Amino acid sequence: MTVPDHREAPGCPYTRAQGSPLYGAAVAENPHSLYARLRAQHGPVAPIELEPGVEAWLVLGYPEMLELTRNEQLFSKDSRRWRVQQEGRLRADSHLIPMTTWRPTLQSMDGAAHQRLSTAVADTLARIDHHLLRATTEDAALRLIESWGPDGTADLISQFTKRLPLLVFTRLLGLPAEDGPHLVGLITDLVDSSKDSQRAAAEFFGLLTDLVLSRRERPGADLASWLLTHPVGLSDEEVVHHLMVILVAGNEPCINWIGNTVRLLLTDRRFRTTLTGGRATVADALDEVLWRDPPVQNFPGRWAVSDTVLGGQYISAGDMLVLGLAGANDDPAAHGPDGIAGNRAHLAWGAGRHVCPAQDPARLIVETAIETLLHCLPDLQLAVPAHELTWRPSPWSRALVSLPVLYSAFVPPRPAPPEETAWTPPPTSYGPSGSTPSGPTSTPRTSGSAPTVRPRWWSSLAGWWSGR
């Protein structure tokens, strides 16, 4: 394809008009309206600003997203090609730096280099025992629910969704339990592009560097050790960077996916009715959220290798293209004749060679967490009107600030197994065997409903979550 020189052409979006901001209230309060307006004004590829003076393209078309993610010859993952950065227009204190800086990870590589790194990550994640992962998640969810006290109120974001995935991931990584709350704060600052994002990235890197050095000397049965001993021979630096990817890409989407799914169940009468009636499952709710409110709504990015055309827009070499995952899911071209029911062709995980490698363990964690929550609290309900719920002002994540709930009944778990000298996650489920909330067999919650014997590891977790 021959593409004309258009950088100073009168029709160029950057010389004609400034792109729409992909930050602040517009993207937090009603992103679907924003994406619909951009599609109506510009088509499937729209000019945006990521912060004042930093232009990019938001890809909103479903076919265009597939082209973008599958064509490495035209659209690279290497952010060092970014024209804004090469021209010195990215401020040193830019909030975009942690999410766009090139790193030696599978997220920044193309071709054979990407294949080498993705093999190591995929093989490492494949070593996770899913039976053990489900048991660990159920137990973590139960301990959190039991810690809420007898008053029948909770904020599911601060007291459940932000805590549970990291409890599981710290276990998988072999991190000390006391590092959990600090990691939550660092990840949130990083993905929200807050004023502390660069500091958070540096602290995050330092914590994981210490872990890798420790595992190099004393390997164990954890993700860090498995990456270090993989046959492709990752360097310590590569392992640290990939642990960052696993924690951010595994933890943040799980947090948002749980919260957005519970919100759907508590605010959508149609869906809650079908769920409690046994005609739908938690898995159905999870897929609907991946279509309508995916936990990652936009993702950086791809960089144009040469001048080209996408979605009717002239793209200059070095331009950044943002994957508009939620916007592409809204594209009518993505929906079949029956809508999205039973359809998993959404783009919440991305597409092409860079599709998320952790989607299977993530789904297991999220589905298990929600099933356990519904089993333990069958009369869970929203504590405020739905319109009062607010969203975090992140260009990347689709995440609630809080999700206050009320409940009165509590279905206690089965008695704890006898105490052991070394904790081993139970091989069978504490929670429900299916995906529907329990019926009216629940009992009023009492302060003594929790088992009195706790494995040693969970005792330490309870301590740092309660501030002891």
Angle at which helices 130-146 and 359-376 pack, to 10 degrees?
40
Tokens of 236: 């310590």
Query: Helix, strand or coil for residue 138?
Result: helix
Q: Is residue 4 part of a domain?
A: no
- Cα-flanking dihedrals φ and ψ of residue 366, to 5°? -70, -45
Distance CA 244, CA 237 (A): 11
191 burial via Cβ count (<10 Å: 0-12, 13-18, 19+): buried
Question: Which CA distances in Å does 206 have to 149, 200, 212?
Answer: 36, 10, 10
Cβ–Cβ under 8 Å, residues 208 and 243: yes
Distance CA 250, CA 261 (A): 17
Distance CA 362, CA 169 (A): 10
Q: Which helix (H) or strand (E) holds 168?
A: helix 164-173
Q: What share of the chain is helix, strand, coil (3-state, %, to 5)?
A: 50, 10, 40
Beta-ladder partners of 46: 58
0.85 exceeded by pTM: no
In terms of Cα–Cα distance, which of 198, 138, 205 is closest to 432?
138
Cis amide prior to 301 (ω within 30 degrees):
yes
Q: Which domain holds residue 302?
A: 13-466
Per-residue pLDDT of the chain (468 residues; tens, 9 = 90+): 444 444 444 344 444 346 899 988 878 888 999 999 999 999 999 999 999 999 999 999 999 999 999 999 999 999 999 999 999 999 988 989 888 999 999 999 999 999 999 999 999 999 999 999 999 999 999 999 999 977 899 999 999 998 898 888 878 877 766 776 777 677 767 665 556 677 877 888 888 898 899 999 999 999 999 999 999 999 999 999 998 888 877 788 999 999 999 999 998 877 666 655 555 678 888 999 999 999 999 999 899 999 999 999 999 999 999 999 999 999 988 876 666 655 678 899 989 889 888 899 999 999 999 999 988 998 899 999 999 999 998 889 999 999 999 998 787 765 444 443 333 333 333 233 333 333 433 444 443 343 333 333 333 333 333 333
Note the Cα 126 to chain centre separation in Å. Answer: 19
Q: Is residue 281 part of a domain?
A: yes
Long-range contacts of 100-104 (CB under 8 A, 24+ apart): 100/300, 100/301, 100/320, 102/78, 103/241, 103/244, 104/235, 104/237, 104/238, 104/241
Cβ–Cβ under 8 Å, residues 35 and 299: no
Q: Is residue 3 part of a domain?
A: no
Distance CA 246, CA 174 (A): 13
Q: How many domains does the chain have?
A: 1
Distance CA 76, CA 307 (A): 13
Cβ–Cβ under 8 Å, residues 257 and 366: yes
- What is the predicted pLDDT for the residue at 323? 97
- Cα-flanking dihedrals φ and ψ of residue 340, to 5°? -100, 0
Distance CA 22, CA 50 (A): 5
Cβ–Cβ under 8 Å, residues 47 and 20: yes
Q: Is residue 415 part of a domain?
A: yes
Q: Is residue 2 part of a domain?
A: no
Q: Which helix (H) or strand (E) holds 410?
A: strand 409-410
Q: Is residue 6 part of a domain?
A: no
Beta 20-21 vs 404-406: how paired, if at all?
unpaired
- What is the predicted pLDDT for the residue at 439? 41
In terms of Cα–Cα distance, which of 92, 78, 436, 158 is closest to 278?
436
Contacts of 52 (CB under 8 A, 6+ apart): none
Q: Is residue 449 part of a domain?
A: yes
The sign of the CA dihedral 419, 420, 424, 429 is negative
CATH number for position 62: 1.10.630.10
- What is the predicted pLDDT for the residue at 342? 57
Cβ–Cβ under 8 Å, residues 380 and 405: yes
Q: Is residue 234 part of a domain?
A: yes
In terms of Cα–Cα distance, which of 259, 337, 257 is closest to 297?
257
